[in-house]
Structure 1
Amino acid sequence: MRYCSENVMDPVRYGTSLNTTKKHNLHWRDFLRHYAGPLPKSYHLWPDNPPTYKQVAKEYLKEVWQLKIKMFRAISEGLGLDPDYIERSLGVEGTQMIASNYYPACPEPNKTLGLAPHSDHGGLTILMDNGIPGLQIKRNQTWYSVPSIPGTFVVNLGDYLEILSNGKYKSIEHRGVVNTEAARISVGVGHGPAMDAIVQPASPLIKEKSESAFRPIVYKDYIKAQQTTVKRGKSALHEIMTSSDN
């Protein structure tokens, strides 16, 4: 409980939705979230219980970091940009965050959600789970369940990538559902720019200012706004970032 906090910017944060005073919060979830990278700045803050956590998490996060570099290079090329464009846009080191979620079996799953509809604020999130279904994505106003396939990751595209691509890539709206039979565990690792980086469309993708679909904003300010809004879905992206010129 020493990590329990409602401050979305705390470097290590535990939270539970099963006992909360927030009227809008109907989640059925416990979570532990903390900064994962850059390692030298965050490692000493990680939980030291269980004793093996730091070492196991460190090794895993280093491998996931290398995977996201490869994916960002492919996405950069898909946008017609230099292969290293997105990686450079993240700043000197960028930001890596890990969110471990526990969704207990629920006696009345039709009355709640494991996690309400939202989009991730970073560039991409690499997700694994314990094989229990629960992730759903929204497309054309319809929710689709994402199958849990052993030996694979699910990768969610986030708001930063939609902003940087000026809307060519779309962040995915998703949610978590629960069931009566089994608990679900998921571990998502998000990757975004440095906290003080300016979030805006890539300059090679826009010829004039009027072509920009999003206004510039400091990344940490976007996170604060996106994480504290009571509205769901992609409202933060649309309301906070939409350019006043459009």
Structure 2
Amino acid sequence: MEKLVSNWSKNVGAVPEDYIYPPETRPGNMHIPIGESIPVIDLSQADKGDRTVTIQKIINASQEFGFFQVINHGIPDNVMKEAMSVWKEFFELPVEAKKDLYADSFTTKDCWLSPSSLNYGREKVHMWREALRHSCHPLQKWHHMWPQTPPRYQECVGACSVEIKKLGSKILRLISEGLGLHGEFLDEYSQTMVLSANYYPACPQPELTLGVTKHADPSIITLLLQDGVSGLQVLKDDTWIGVDPNPHAIVVNIASQLQVICNGKLKSAEHRAVTNSRKARISAAFFIGALAESIIEPAKALVDELCPPIYKSFKSKEFLPKLYETYGDSQATLEFFKA
């Protein structure tokens, strides 16, 4: 538990050496502005007869950025607010209340709290964060394994998880249609959902460290809730762009296995999280993905003589171990699965 940043970060005036990133990867003193170019898509338009227009906006954003935000998405504000509140309560619990969930290496636990990442023992540099992880779908299979404290955790996070899964399925069906596939094509690749609730304490020297290093997510699609504190950045054309921390919007990003399924027509977005010296930040990422034994391969409808498969077939469970081997280097991992 002593490895959790929140246990000691308030008592230090400088970032410890094993949290300082090399100059070429640390954020530095340069201010990264919030990017107005990152698409914000009003999903209510798809229900008002503008479905084709909305689909095209999603496809364009997924091709150019691999990243977009959705508003008027159908999840009540109070559901998101209550979930964010209960995650905040959890991370502020005393150490003793969280010790049974703690794991700093690969674990068989169904719900666990880790410092930095589950690569902690192999990391050259640690990330300035801690994360609570557990499966969320199907809800009845997992929710009884979630934290008992705070007492409202299971109720609030359960309600949010159900809404997020419905929204994720809706977005994937819009993407399927936009790719020229039948609307339910991606349903079979969205049978699981895992939460990573992330806590980034205030940092005395945010220019030296990172909350999360540059990476692309390993699953199919990620939906992210933010608490209104900036920190999320996406990489486009070798330039970092800040993402508006709108607590009413949902951030959506294309993940690596969807890039494989669509044969490179959409791109998985590399992104990172930075810290700040004034406020702690909380985010909640829901990773929607395929079952472990599912075959991940380019959709046959998207492959022909002019567009041969870029990637080979593999089981979904093979992707994450390869990502850990490359220390989270998503590009190197995708290269391994090239045809």
The 10-residue stretch of structure 1 (171-180 or 39-48) with the greater mean CA deviation from structure 2: 39-48
Question: Structure 2 CA distance, aligned partners of 1:123 and 1:219?
Answer: 10
Q: In terms of Rg, which structure is larger?
A: 2
Q: CA RMSD in A?
A: 2.0
**Alignment: residue pair count:** 238
Q: Which runs of 4+ in 1 moved over 6 A?
A: none
| In structure 2, C-alpha distance between the alignment counterparts of 1:233 and 1:217, rounded to whole Å | 16
Q: Deviations over 1:6-45 (max 9, x none)?
A: 2166432211139x54442331001101111122322222
Task: Label 1:231 to 1:121 Cα distance change in 2 as closer, same or farther (>3 A).
Answer: closer
Q: More helix by proportion, 1 or 2?
A: 2
User: Structure 2 length as normaliser, TM-score?
Assistant: 0.66
Looking at structure 2, the residues matched to 8 and 214 of structure 1 have their Cα atoms a distance apart, in angstroms, of 30
Q: Any idea what SS the aligned residue of 1:51 has?
A: coil
Q: What secondary structure is seen at the aligned counterpart in 2 of 1:190?
A: strand
2:176 is equivalent to residue 76 of structure 1: yes
TM-score, normalised via structure 1 length: 0.90
Aligned residue type for 2:331:
K
- The residue number in structure 2 matching 1:160 is 257
Alpha-carbon distance in 1 for matches of 2:112, 2:308: 38
Query: Is 1:185 aligned to residue 282 of structure 2?
Result: yes
Pair 1:231–1:17, CA change in 2 (3 A): closer
SS in 2 for 1:108: coil
Q: Does the residue aligned with 2:266 lie in a helix, a strand or coil? A: coil
The aligned runs of 1:234-245 (5 Å cut-off) are: 234-238=331-335, 240-243=336-339
Q: Distance in 2 between matches of 1:231 and 1:37?
A: 24
Q: Quick check: which one's strand share is greater?
A: 1
**Corresponding position: 1:45 with 2:145:** yes
Aligned: 1:4 with 2:102: yes
1:169 aligns with 2:266: yes
| Structure 1: 5+ residue stretches without partners | none
Matched, 1:56 2:152: no
Unaligned runs of 5+ in 2: 1-98
Out of 89, 101, 116, the position equivalent to 1:17 is 116
| Stretch moving more, 219-228 or 181-190 | 219-228
**Is the 2:111–2:135 Cα contact (8 Å) retained in structure 1?**
yes
The answer for the alignment partner of 1:36 in structure 2 is 136
Amino acid at match of 1:144: I
